[in-house]
Amino acid sequence: MKTYLNCIPCFVQQTLTACRFVSDDESLHESVLREVLTLLKDVDMSQTPPAMAMRIYRIIRRRTGVDDPYQEVKHQTTREVLRLLPELRRQVREAADPFTMAVRMAIGGNTIDCGVGHAITVETVSKAFAHALDGPLDGDVKEFQTAVNEAKSILYVADNAGEIVSDRLLIERLPAGRVTLAVRGRAVLNDATRDDAKMAGYDETIEIIDNGSDAPGTILEECSEAFRRRFARVDLIVAKGQGNFETLSDAKGTIFFFLKVKCPVISHHTGCPLGHLLVRKKAE
Amino acid sequence: MKTYLNCIPCFVQQTLTACRFVSDDESLHESVLREVLTLLKDVDMSQTPPAMAMRIYRIIRRRTGVDDPYQEVKHQTTREVLRLLPELRRQVREAADPFTMAVRMAIGGNTIDCGVGHAITVETVSKAFAHALDGPLDGDVKEFQTAVNEAKSILYVADNAGEIVSDRLLIERLPAGRVTLAVRGRAVLNDATRDDAKMAGYDETIEIIDNGSDAPGTILEECSEAFRRRFARVDLIVAKGQGNFETLSDAKGTIFFFLKVKCPVISHHTGCPLGHLLVRKKAE
């Protein structure tokens, strides 16, 4: 998916938000902002938004000297979803259709996204899962379930820290031994890395790989050779969140996108209203 | 008032909004946006926000070839406030304190502002006046009334089209023959010009002058010599709206600012909550 003009003011706002996360120094914020504006004025709009965001967060890391501005938020949200997990698991188990409810909870967790301008608090996290229980879900979960049953190998491409805890509820219901969990190669925004996956409590039965990249999405040409080979080989890919949707919408393979529609650009692009839970199979 | 870092994403968004007002050509929007980003990357943050906005709207006018993108909106809102005027006048007349109610209605009209990112509709206009009836008003209207009684000459610096119709309710209650109404020298945003003042139905007893400038505020060094002389000479200045507040907060003279607090930057700067009606005397 290309970058829309409406993404540009959002990038400018994200730059300020991220800088303020790591520093109180207004002159540093201003100087980072000027560097990002310089980048944006010549931006290639045919790139995906995460390709642009990757370059912006590289600037922020370099200029602030902070490698992982969102580490504290990632830890907080991880702890919060771990605290909620037994109750969420009970809700999945007792649902009329536990598989669909597990899908709902996994997508509900996608609300925990620091890239869309809203502050993430303990309250937003618990509200997100309450909304996932019976909020509008667009897409065909049965089609996904059929694809799961037919797949010998599944690559589950995670999105954010915290969210990756609720992903456990769905991954537990996928065929054991067939699922590999993929995380980002390096901290960017509040996207989940190996450390976040470890903190999320996955046991040894799940293989965890990283994609070797610092983009807040999956830009295959930025990923490691090992990741690309795995990606090309699996039968089924589950891609969580807006960043993976934006970067993989033209990739090869059988891909199901699972996301919460959180910004007007994605709502416009998908035709799915803001706030809806979305399950979408990539067009062949 | 200087430009805050938070104004920058807002300028980027305003650029897109204004371009879309006058053209459906996405490539034109993109090229204007790139020119504005180039301007912003080197912006002098000690300037006021309207000084920056003036330069942005000059780019938009030059690149789109449209001299007054907001003309249609200005006409619509003017017609709408003219339609409401008899009812608003009745509410002022029947209020326990008609002078304060006239102040409220004049400030209520300041909601009609295309610079703060919200679309202005017939519905927003009537809601704005309903809110002005009893919404929170910060400031000392009595102090203003005393200053009015003592002033031999009053310069009423208007802000937006439509709003300038409701200004009539307050101007009618100021001493006849002492008030001069000032408008912008050229169309910018939906700010009121001579044409808008004429359409607002002022009779010949009110002298109308323009400031010779195309800034969405009152940047004295950008104004005509004649305006500056008048400004320096009068006993009392009423300055409507955020743009006049931002540009005149360090000017000489006895100035009362009347505005609706419509953006987080102004709310932070004034210490007045978003949505409040504000009457503030400039610090001596």
Domains of chain B: total: 2
- pLDDT averaged over chain A? 95
Contact of A29 with A63, CB cutoff 8 Å? no
Whether residues B81 and B60 share a domain: the answer is no
The phi, psi pair for B281, rounded to 5°, reads -80, 135
pLDDT given for residue A177 in this prediction: 92
Q: Check CB contact under 8 Å for A33 and B8.
A: yes
Domain CATH for B41: 1.10.8
pLDDT given for residue B117 in this prediction: 61
Contact of A172 with A154, CB cutoff 8 Å? no
What is the separation, in whole angstroms, between the first and last Cα of chain B?
A: 15
The pLDDT tens digits for B123-138 are 889 999 999 999 999 9
Q: Check CB contact under 8 Å for A12 and B8.
A: yes
Strand partners, B257: B239, B280
pLDDT given for residue B118 in this prediction: 63
> Using a CB-CB distance cutoff of 8 angstroms, which residues of chain A are in contact with residue B45?
30
Whether residues B25 and B107 share a domain: the answer is no
pLDDT given for residue B204 in this prediction: 83
Q: What percent of chain A has pLDDT over 90?
A: 91
Domain CATH for A255: 3.40.50.10880
Whether residues B112 and B173 share a domain: the answer is yes
More confident residue, A121 or B223: B223
More confident residue, B185 or A113: B185
User: Is there a domain that residue B2 lies in?
Assistant: no
> Using a CB-CB distance cutoff of 8 angstroms, which residues of chain B are in contact with residue A12?
8-9, 12
Of B46, B64, B82, the position where a domain reaches its end is B64
pTM: 0.90
User: Is there a domain that residue B1 lies in?
Assistant: no
User: Is there a domain that residue B130 lies in?
Assistant: yes
Q: Check CB contact under 8 Å for A8 and B12.
A: yes
Whether residues A137 and A250 share a domain: the answer is yes
Name which of A2, A4, A6, A8 to mutate to probe chain B: the one with the most chain B Cβ atoms within 10 A of its Cβ: A8
User: Is there a domain that residue B250 lies in?
Assistant: yes
Whether residues B13 and B102 share a domain: the answer is no
Contact of A160 with A241, CB cutoff 8 Å? yes
Q: Is the ipTM of this complex over 0.90?
A: no
Using CB atoms, pick whichever of A9, A30, A42 lies closest to residue B5: A30
Asked whether the predicted pLDDT for residue A143 surpasses 70, the reply is: yes
Whether residues A52 and A162 share a domain: the answer is no
The pLDDT tens digits for B239-267 are 999 999 999 999 999 999 999 999 999 99
User: Is there a domain that residue A2 lies in?
Assistant: no
pLDDT given for residue B272 in this prediction: 97
**Helix, strand or coil, per DSSP, at residue A180:** strand
The distance of Cα B52 from the centroid of its chain, to the nearest Å, equals 16
Query: Can you give the residue range of the structural domain that contains A238?
Result: 71-281
Whether residues B113 and B14 share a domain: the answer is no
Q: Check CB contact under 8 Å for B9 and A26.
A: no
Using CB atoms, pick whichever of A9, A38, A45 lies closest to residue B13: A9
B4 vs chain A: nearest CA distance in angstroms? 10
pLDDT band at B122; cut points 50, 70, 90: confident
Name which of A13, A15, A116 to mutate to probe chain B: the one with the most chain B Cβ atoms within 10 A of its Cβ: A13
A79 vs chain B: nearest CA distance in angstroms? 32
Q: How many helices (H) and strands (E) does chain A have?
A: 12, 7
**Rounded to whole angstroms, how far apart are CA atoms A196 and A242?**
19
The pLDDT tens digits for B188-246 are 999 999 999 999 999 888 999 999 999 999 999 999 999 999 999 999 999 999 999 99
The predicted model gives A97-113 an average pLDDT of 96
A20 vs chain B: nearest CA distance in angstroms? 11
